[in-house]
Amino acid sequence: MAPPQPRWTDRTMKLYIAPRAPNPRRVQMFMAEKGITDIPQVAVDLNAGEHRSDAFRAKSPLAKVPALEFDDGRVLTETRAICTWLEGRYPEPNLMGVDYDERAFIEMADRRIEFYLMAPLANCIRHTHPGLAVLEQPQFPDYGRSQAAKGYEVARWLDAQLARQPFMAGDRFTIADITAFCGLEFARGLMKFKPGDEGMTALQTWRDRIAERPSARV
């Protein structure tokens, strides 16, 4: 029988993820859209505190996932940075813009969604859901509820945008749609947030359309 492989120390390129967490899912969905299957994925158990271990902090000093480890031992963290590297290494299909003009507008849409929709909804969940107490100590429920209100406000703005255009950044599917979908799915599971129930019919139609893509099943 072959000896077990070291969990954190071997030098095979790999992506560290956490099942059901929205940021790792963004990278996984990005990879699925590009058909990337040659990067092994390693699950990190957040509830067990594996991300806070000394061994994992040596790779990701802020104890965050996702993290992309290269063969030479370097580690790239932050979802957008990982996707930027993947876009360069696997350029097709293009998800981040074909020139500086399109890249700028796609990044604007993606950042708006990440900072003003996804982050507030995640903060609500982290500070109000009892299942997330192990990851967020102390929890501040009032803060969480206030963040939900901010996230809903941006969701209503996106609903109006999607009444005029088919995708988050305009006429085609991009990384901005991935960020929005993963953020909304996280909220759907733990906040029971369904845009259609709040009168956001365009956002709900968009969500249902994206959910039909094979990459949405990761």
Do residues 160 and 105 share a domain?
yes
For residues 102-124, average pLDDT: 97
Within this chain, do residues 40 and 115 fall inside the same structural domain, yes or no? no
Residues with Cβ within 8 Å of residue 175, at least 6 apart in sequence: 30, 83, 95, 96, 106, 110
Query: Is the predicted pLDDT of residue 141 greater than 60, yes or no?
Result: yes
Count Cβ atoms below 10 Å from residue 100 Cβ, excluding itself. 7
Residues 67 and 132 in one domain: no
165 and 82 together in one domain: no
Whole-angstrom distance, CA of residue 148 vs CA of residue 187: 10
Alpha-carbon distance 78 to 61, whole Å? 12
Claim to verify: residue 124 and residue 209 sit in the same structural domain: yes
Do 84 and 53 belong together in one domain?
A: yes
Q: Which of 89, 117, 146 is the last residue of a domain?
A: 89
In a domain, 105, yes or no: yes
Q: How many helices (H) and strands (E) does the chain have?
A: 8, 4
Domain-located, residue 94? no
CA nearest to 69, candidates 77, 81, 57: 77
Residue whose pair of structure tokens reads 């999607």 in the numeric block: 162
Q: Which H/E stretch holds residue 14?
A: strand 14-17
Nearest residue to 203 (alpha-carbon basis) of 182, 172, 180, 186? 180
Query: Is 194 part of any domain?
Result: yes
In this structure, the answer to whether residues 82 and 168 fall within a common structural domain is: no
Please check whether residue 1 lies inside any domain of the structure. Answer: no
Residue 9 is assigned to a structural domain of this protein = no
pLDDT score of 2: 41
Residue 47: give the domain boundaries: 14-89
Check which CATH number belongs to the domain holding 52 and give it. 3.40.30.10
Which pLDDT value is given to residue 10?
Answer: 55
The structural domain count of the chain equals 2
> Residue 178: inside a domain, yes or no?
yes
Of 84-88, 132-136, 164-168, minimum mean pLDDT range: 132-136
Residues 16-29: tens digit of each pLDDT: 999 989 999 999 99
Q: Which of 89, 117, 145 is the last residue of a domain?
A: 89
Instruction: Name residues whose C-beta falls within 8 Å of residue 61's C-beta, 6 or more positions apart in sequence.
Output: none
Greater model confidence, 80 or 11: 80
Pair 144, 196 in one domain: yes
The first and second tokens of residue 60, run together, are 């990701």
Domain identity same for 80 and 106: no
On whether both 112 and 212 belong to a single domain, the answer is: yes
First-to-last alpha carbon distance for the chain, in angstroms, is: 32
- Both 159 and 77 in one domain: the answer is no
Side chain identity at residue 57, one-letter code: R
pLDDT recorded at residue 136: 79
Q: How confident is the model at residue 11 (pLDDT cuts 50, 70, 90)?
A: low
Q: What is the pLDDT, as a whole number, of residue 154?
A: 98
Mean predicted confidence (pLDDT) in 48-68: 95
C-alpha closest to that of 13 among 59, 75, 60, 56: 75
